[in-house]
């Protein structure tokens, strides 16, 4: 099996409730030795500071393990949050 790319799909509002689930998925991928994690935001309607924090922690953990984090399919509301916080300049979208 090819462990080079793994897709993680999340949906709804990425908030404190979903942040732990997201962190657990990232941890599982770190342990699997994957080289790139693609986070599909297609079904994410919005996110709060907890979700943003989880994303930053995921980025740092993956980068420390030489694993790439890529985000795809973001909606306009999430794009604005990324632009306002500068995340779009740090994490590949």
* pLDDT per position as a tens digit, 8-60: 999 999 999 999 999 999 999 999 989 999 999 999 999 999 999 999 999 99
Tally the domains of the chain: 1
User: The domain that contains 18 carries what CATH number?
Assistant: 3.30.750.24
Q: Which domain holds residue 54?
A: 5-89
Residue 2's pLDDT band, with cuts at 50, 70 and 90, is low
Rounding to the nearest 10 degrees, give the CA dihedral for residues 47, 43, 45, 20. Answer: -30
Contact 50, 16 (CB under 8 A): yes
| Spatial separation of the C-alpha atoms in residues 30 and 63, rounded to whole Å | 10
Contact 82, 93 (CB under 8 A): yes
């Amino acid at each position: 099996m090819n462990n080079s790319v793994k897709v993680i799909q999340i949906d709804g509002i990425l908030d404190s409730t979903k942040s732990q689930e997201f962190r657990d998925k990232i941890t599982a991928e770190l342990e699997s030795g994957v080289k790139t994690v693609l986070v599909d935001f297609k079904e994410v309607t919005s996110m709060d500071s907890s979700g943003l924090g989880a994303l930053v922690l995921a980025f740092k953990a993956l980068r420390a393990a030489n694993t790439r984090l890529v985000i795809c399919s973001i909606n306009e509301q999430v794009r604005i949050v990324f632009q306002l916080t500068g995340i779009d300049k740090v994490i590949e979208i």
